[in-house]
Amino acid sequence: EEAIEGTVFEISSSEPLCLAIVTGPVNALLRGERTALNTLSRCSGVATASRQACAIASSCNWNGHVAGTRKTTPGFRIAEKYGLLVGGASTHRLDLSQMTMLKDNHIWSAGSISAAVALAKRAAGFSSKIEVECQSLQEAVEAAHAGADIVMLDNFEPNRLKQDSATFKQQFPHVLVEASGGITIETMGDYLSEHVDIVSQG
């Protein structure tokens, strides 16, 4: 059986799957073999984990976005992001140019969340979304008032996340809520809520 992009296969050692056929000079093939296999293995592992996470979301009838971590392995970003897509998850952002993310160090240097968002809007212009990492409901409200497009509720316990995201969405229904921090395949189901739009791991 041969692999086709976009098709999911359940495989086992008794039913091998042909992923690629490579031809060329033997010395060139042998030089590139291990690097190619390592890259393919890494991408396949990410795709498998991505699919598992998406299956959990689907089993809970959750309609939000499962996103991968923003932290990629140096030199493997394209392979890992591709693996996420193959598994059915979102890539979060492909690189630093795709969205402006304000973390605690940016907020400290600007003096406040509102000031940091204002500076980011001035630098990024109208075409770039702005996400703010928040440690509390109060910070999320400040970020939304300042014009953030997405608030990340970071390292919230599941019950607190559900309560605070519901309260937040009552006031800001059009601002996306992302849950992140400490979420694993085993615990992801506990974080899913109708008021959470994105769940990311890592």
Query: What residues are annotated to the active site?
Result: 71
Measured CA to CA, the distance from residue 185 to residue 74 in angstroms comes to 23
The position carrying tokens 């409200």 is: 141
- Alpha-carbon span 182 to 153, nearest angstrom: 11
For 89-128, the DSSP string reads -B-S-SSTTS-EEE-HHHHHHHSSHHHHHHHHHHHH-TTS
Q: How far apart are CA 34 and CA 86, in angstroms?
A: 22
CB 87 within 8 A of CB 54: yes
CA distance 131 to 148: 6
Report the distance separating Cα 73 and Cα 118, nearest Å: 31
Pairing of strands 100-102, 130-134: parallel
